[in-house]
Amino acid sequence: MRLTLHIWRQKNGGDAGGFVSYPRQDVSPDMSFLEMLDVLNEELTEAGDEPVAFDHDCREGICGACGVMINGVAHGPEPGTATCQLHMRKFKDGDEIRVEPFRSRAFPILKDLVVDRSPLDEIIQAGGFISVNTGSAPEANLMPVPRRDAERAMDAAECIGCGACVAQCPNGAGQLFTAAKISHLAELPQGQPERASRASAMVEVMESYFGSCSNFAECEAVCPKGISIDFIAQMNREYLRSRFK
Amino acid sequence: MSSILSLYRSAIGKKAVMAVSGFLLVGFVLGHMAGNFKIFLGEEKFNHYAEWLREIGSPALPHGGALWIARIVLLGAVLLHIHSAWSLTRASRKARPERYRRKLSARQATYASRTMRWGGVIIVLFVFFHLAHFTWGWSWAHPDFDPGNAYRNVVEGFRVPWVVAFYIVAQLALGLHLYHGFWSALQSLGWDHRAIDSWRRPAAATIAVALTLGNTALAISVLTGWVG
């Protein structure tokens, strides 16, 4: 395949940055998007140029490290897929591909396509956990969980924290991520003691960094794990309830 | 009280206030339309209804008392609705100071959801004109206004084609606003229980279509001479 990449290059946070075009020949349709960038980087390195910096880790869609904007869509055109699992066969020969970093006030650009997503960690630190005595492991079925609750908690727990929801949201909101984390624990018996304080604390940190929700549902459309905006409704409920406790 | 005030400081709280004030305003426009359908019953019935609105609560309330209470509550709802929208929009703009160079491609956001803010502006302008037209009777909006005869005001007001055209545009804007707004308000309040989940979208669509068609039908009936 022949492609033209226009990749955002930026030396560091202070640099203005801009697109640089890289015409590509012989791109294998079986490569993942990141492998395609790897090949480009090898060539850049051999030519003595700076390789394109991008985040990646597991490359099997479960770690949440990768993520770039591909032609105006977080993680690119294939729904339900992280950038690492997007394959070049999803593009057509001769395509022009514009690659930009996730943009948000909360995600400052470190270099090229790499952004600092630590505000998502701060939201977790504010309440995305349960406080328990870490003695010996309890018996497996000591705490029965209705199947429906377990399924819903699992659906929310699928969130890999990649930040695509923030990147795609016209408001730059971090609602889908926070909602998934709050709902996940609110569905399970272990999450009950800190349910209200968790919702309140996590929302407070979220709102200090991100925009607000207009229920566009763009986040749901690009989420590599297909997290439903139903969880945003649940977060709203959990938060409003916590305010009247 | 203090919990309500602190709630309004948060964005989710503002959305809740926007939702509740929105429901109040939806209730009003539905009632307003239902009442206005009395125009089809003729001059006497319609003017009697207009007079009755001023007599609600009589003799406990003075003449027009209930009407003024309703106006104050509605004005409060409108101001809260607009203020919450305004401040949330500003906060969201600040959340992405550096724009994308390649515009975001909308994946599934509806046209209605993407036009909420400007649609709201159209509705505000329309409400202002509507009041000048039928309540204040300002001469540029309604040259033949007679404060004592609501029926004649409506009939003569809707004989002007550009006025009816503007009303239709505004009703379309209102319909779009409510199609997203009604559903979105349920979402903002966290009312997504399975029992109501399947009718949230259809209910929003029904309300939006009913209001747009109902109000438009009224104005067109007068314009075409079917009423009056």
Asked if residue B195 has pLDDT above 80, the reply is no
* Dihedral sign of CA atoms A221, A226, B119, B40 in order: positive
Average pLDDT for B30-50: 96
Q: Does B96 touch chain A (CB under 8 A)?
A: yes
Question: Please, what is the angle between helix A230-243 and helix B11-36, to 10°?
Answer: 100
CB contact under 8 A, A214 and B97: no
Q: Does A211 touch chain B (CB under 8 A)?
A: yes
Mutation target to probe the A interface, by most A beta carbons within 10 A, among B3, B84, B100, B111 is B100
CB contact under 8 A, B96 and A172: yes
* pLDDT value for A132: 81
Q: Does B107 touch chain A (CB under 8 A)?
A: yes
Q: Does B19 touch chain A (CB under 8 A)?
A: no
Q: Across all residues in chain A, what is the average pLDDT?
A: 96
Topology annotation, domain A117-243: Fumarate Reductase Iron-sulfur Protein; Chain B, domain 2 (1.10.1060)
- How far, rounded to the nearest angstrom, does the alpha carbon of residue B115 sit from its chain's CA centroid? 15
Average pLDDT for B69-94: 97
* pLDDT value for A206: 98
* pLDDT value for A15: 94
The closest CB to that of B100, out of A69, A235, A244, belongs to A69
Average pLDDT for A78-100: 97
Q: Does B88 touch chain A (CB under 8 A)?
A: yes
Calpha distance A67→A100 (Å, rounded): 10
Average pLDDT for B22-29: 98
Mutation target to probe the A interface, by most A beta carbons within 10 A, among B88, B96, B118 is B96
Q: Does B187 touch chain A (CB under 8 A)?
A: yes
* CATH 3.10.20.30 boundaries in chain A: 3-111
* pLDDT value for A245: 72
Q: Work out the pLDDT band at B119, boundaries 50, 70, 90.
A: very high
**Percentage of chain B exceeding pLDDT 90:** 89
ipTM computed for the complex? 0.92
Mutation target to probe the A interface, by most A beta carbons within 10 A, among B192, B196, B200 is B192
A115: chain B residues, CB-CB within 8 Å: none
A238: chain B residues, CB-CB within 8 Å: 190
Closest chain A C-alpha to B96 CA, distance in angstroms: 5
Residues 213-242 of A with CB under 8 A from B: 213-218, 220-222, 229-230, 232-240
B98: chain A residues, CB-CB within 8 Å: 103
Output B131-138 pairs: Cβ under 8 A, ≥24 positions apart.
B133/B157, B133/B163
Question: Please, what is the angle between helix A195-209 and helix A230-243, to 10°?
Answer: 110
**Percentage of chain B exceeding pLDDT 70:** 100
**Percentage of chain A exceeding pLDDT 70:** 100
| Structure-token pair, residue A112 | 């090229």
CB contact under 8 A, B100 and A72: yes
DSSP character at residue B58: T
Structural domains present in chain B:
8-223 (1.20.1300.10)
| Structure-token pair, residue A29 | 């349709």
The closest CB to that of B104, out of A105, A170, A220, belongs to A170
* pLDDT tens digit sequence for A137-177: 888 888 899 999 999 999 999 999 999 999 999 999 999 99
CB contact under 8 A, B105 and A71: yes
Calpha distance B133→A195 (Å, rounded): 52
Closest chain B C-alpha to A238 CA, distance in angstroms: 8
**Percentage of chain A exceeding pLDDT 90:** 94
* Dihedral sign of CA atoms B15, B16, B17, B18 in order: positive
Of 3.40.630.30, 3.10.20.30, 3.40.50.150, 3.40.50.300, which CATH number belongs to A3-111? 3.10.20.30
Neighbours of A169 (CB within 10 A): 29
Calpha distance A65→A55 (Å, rounded): 6
Calpha distance B199→B211 (Å, rounded): 18
Calpha distance A167→B94 (Å, rounded): 14
* pLDDT value for A223: 98
* pLDDT tens digit sequence for A174-191: 999 999 999 999 999 999
Start-to-end CA distance of chain A, whole Å, equals 60
* CATH 1.10.1060.10 boundaries in chain A: 117-243
CB contact under 8 A, A170 and B109: yes
* pLDDT value for B58: 87
Give every CB contact of residue B191 below 8 A, 6+ residues apart in sequence.
A233, A237
| Structure-token pair, residue A78 | 């294939």
Closest chain A C-alpha to B222 CA, distance in angstroms: 38
* pLDDT tens digit sequence for B138-159: 999 999 999 999 999 999 999 9
Question: Please, what is the angle between helix A230-243 and helix B161-188, to 10°?
Answer: 70
Average pLDDT for B17-38: 98
Residues 161-180 of A with CB under 8 A from B: 168, 170-173
Type of residue at B117: R
The DSSP line for A27-53 is: --TTSBHHHHHHHHHHHHHHTTPPPPP
Mutation target to probe the B interface, by most B beta carbons within 10 A, among A113, A165, A216 is A216
* pLDDT value for B1: 59
